[in-house]
Amino acid sequence: MAKLEYIWLDGYKPTQSLRSKTKIEKDFSGKLEDVANWSFDGSSTEQAPGGSSDCVLKPVYMVKDPQRKDGYLVMCEVLDSTGARHESNGRALIEDDDNDFWFGFEQEYFLWDPATNKPLGFPASGFPGPQGPYYCSVGANNAFGREIVEEHLDACLDAGLNVEGINGEVAAGQWEFQIFAKGAKEAGDQIWLARYLLERIGEKYNVSINWHCKPLGSLDWNGSGMHANFSNTTLRTAGNKEVYDIICEAFRPVVSEHVEVYGADNHLRLTGKHETASIHDFSYGVSDRGASIRIPLATVERGWKGYLEDRRPNSAADPYKVAARIIKTVKTAEVYV
């Protein structure tokens, strides 16, 4: 007897949400290929009209559910009633069938108290001390919600997700986890499943997860990003600065195309302050966290063999769409490499 939790992205705009429902399978092999397609009411998720409401869930990635007996988490793509890609399905846009692209996403978020409508660590009236002591902090005065973060880390690792680290972030109640995968689709799958687990764990503590890139508005607090670290064979083996310059320059004429899929309200975060570049500019540089794209110092020290970091995607961005756009741009540059 197995509990299969089918998980998908709804059709809400500009930011999609996670949805899920459980299917009981009496004789389940434990293999993804034996998970059947399922359907759901798309008229309840902004994905279909009421008169023709069926949408199809196509299982694409599966891990053990670390918090449910005999459970599995099944990430799904959404298809329309004809079996074609639904417009809300960003995963199907990724052109990386050979998994040549490797992605590491740095997912920031706020633990949010529904009672005060503020992050954990913020008093009901007013604000805590200014940012500074909260980054990578320890102690009850500076680290808020660690029990949630630790439970989430264990759940992700027990599920087999490739979490590479966690840390407290710059603002009170703000945290980050990092996930890496060899293959853009799997990287996106793992980020979404990690988000799902975090949301579900938050239910237990009556704490919500705020993915918005600037939930504290114009106040002098850092926003939340989802920096995209990426490489392919060309970047991993280049061996010279010129290749990196060509690939970085390929991003310059398509700034708007990238910003379009890098998360809603990103203009509130990409101001040129708080370790961001301006949303209106494009720049890149070695070890420059104020640039649009950072060339890591380690890449240079390895003889220009490594990866790049696009610092513009925000915390609520869809990693599928981010990866798809980055891959498309890099492939245009490779014509000239």
**What tens digit of pLDDT does each residue of 37-79 get?**
999 999 999 999 877 789 999 999 999 999 999 999 999 999 9
Question: What was the pLDDT predicted at 290?
Answer: 87
Question: What was the pLDDT predicted at 100?
Answer: 97
Residue 94 lies in a domain: no
As a three-state string, the secondary structure of 13-37 is: CCCCCEEEEEEEECCCCCCHHHCCC
Question: 20-36: string of b/e by CB count within 10 Å (b at 16+)?
Answer: beebeeeebeeeeeebe
Q: At what angle do helices 146-159 and 184-205 cross, to 10 degrees?
A: 140
Distance of CA 246 to the CA centre of its chain: 27
Residues 128, 31 within the same domain: no
DSSP H helices, the chain, are 146-159, 184-205, 233-237, 241-249, 255-260, 297-301, 319-333
Residues 108, 63 within the same domain: no
Q: What is the CATH number of the domain that holds 17?
A: 3.10.20.70
Residue 159 lies in a domain: yes
Residue 237 and residue 303: Cα distance in Å, rounded?
A: 9
Residues 214, 276 within the same domain: yes
Domain total for the chain?
Answer: 2
Question: What was the pLDDT predicted at 190?
Answer: 98
Question: What was the pLDDT predicted at 125?
Answer: 87
Rounded to the nearest integer, the mean pLDDT of the chain is 95
Residue 95 lies in a domain: no
Residue 218 and residue 43: Cα distance in Å, rounded?
A: 36
For the chain, helix (H) and strand (E) counts, in that order, are 7, 14
Residue type, 40: F
More confident: 95 or 280? 95
- In sequence order, the β-bridge partners of residue 100 are none
User: What's the average model confidence in pLDDT over 192-213?
Assistant: 98
Residue 60 lies in a domain: yes
Question: What was the pLDDT predicted at 64?
Answer: 98
Residues 184, 323 within the same domain: yes
Asked if residue 166 has pLDDT above 80, the reply is yes
User: Which pLDDT band, with edges at 50, 70 and 90, does 83 fall under?
Assistant: very high
- Cis status, amide bond into 14, omega within 30 of 0: yes
Question: What was the pLDDT predicted at 303?
Answer: 98
Q: Are 269 and 225 in contact (CB under 8 A)?
A: yes
Q: Are 38 and 58 in contact (CB under 8 A)?
A: no
User: Which pLDDT band, with edges at 50, 70 and 90, does 335 fall under?
Assistant: low
Q: Count the neighbouring beta carbons within 10 Å of the beta carbon of residue 211.
A: 23
Q: What is the CATH number of the domain that holds 115?
A: 3.30.590.10
Residue 212 lies in a domain: yes
CB-based contacts of 108: which residues, under 8 Å, 6+ apart?
A: 169, 174, 175, 176, 224, 225, 226, 315
Asked if residue 334 has pLDDT above 80, the reply is no
Q: Which of 218, 234, 195, 208 is nearest to 19 (CA)?
A: 195
- In sequence order, the β-bridge partners of residue 57 are 38, 78
Q: Tell me: the pLDDT tens digits for 209-219? A: 999 999 988 77
Q: What is the pTM of this model?
A: 0.96
- Pairing assessment for the beta strands 71-79 and 2-9 based on DSSP bridges: parallel
Question: In the chain, what percentage of residues exceed pLDDT 90?
Answer: 88
Question: What was the pLDDT predicted at 145?
Answer: 98
Last residue of a domain, which of 47, 68, 89?
A: 89
Question: What was the pLDDT predicted at 320?
Answer: 98
Residues 198, 298 within the same domain: yes
Residues 107, 235 within the same domain: yes
Range of the domain at 170: 102-333
Asked if residue 33 has pLDDT above 70, the reply is yes
Place of tokens 């069926």: 54
Last residue of a domain, which of 89, 116, 142?
A: 89
CB-based contacts of 280: which residues, under 8 Å, 6+ apart?
A: none
Q: What angle do CA 328, 183, 243 make, to 5 degrees?
A: 50
Residues 81, 126 within the same domain: no
User: What's the average model confidence in pLDDT over 273-280?
Assistant: 76
Residue 248 lies in a domain: yes
Last residue of a domain, which of 89, 114, 130?
A: 89
Q: Tell me: the pLDDT tens digits for 121-162? A: 999 888 898 888 999 999 999 999 999 999 999 999 999 999
Tokens, residue 257:
């195309």
Question: What was the pLDDT predicted at 275?
Answer: 67
Residues 85, 106 within the same domain: no
Residues 83, 231 within the same domain: no
Residue 194 and residue 172: Cα distance in Å, rounded?
A: 21
Residues 121, 54 within the same domain: no
Residues 169, 62 within the same domain: no
Residue 228 lies in a domain: yes
Q: Which of 264, 180, 257, 273 is nearest to 219 (CA)?
A: 273
Residue 11 lies in a domain: yes
Coil/strand/helix, residue 189:
helix
Question: What was the pLDDT predicted at 107?
Answer: 98
- In sequence order, the β-bridge partners of residue 64 are 72
Residues 68, 113 within the same domain: no
Which secondary structure element, helix H or strand E, spans residue 104, and what is its range?
Answer: strand 102-113
Asked if residue 337 has pLDDT above 70, the reply is no
Q: Are 21 and 269 in contact (CB under 8 A)?
A: no
Q: At what angle do helices 241-249 and 319-333 cross, to 10 degrees?
A: 120
Asked if residue 274 has pLDDT above 60, the reply is no
User: What's the average model confidence in pLDDT over 185-214?
Assistant: 98
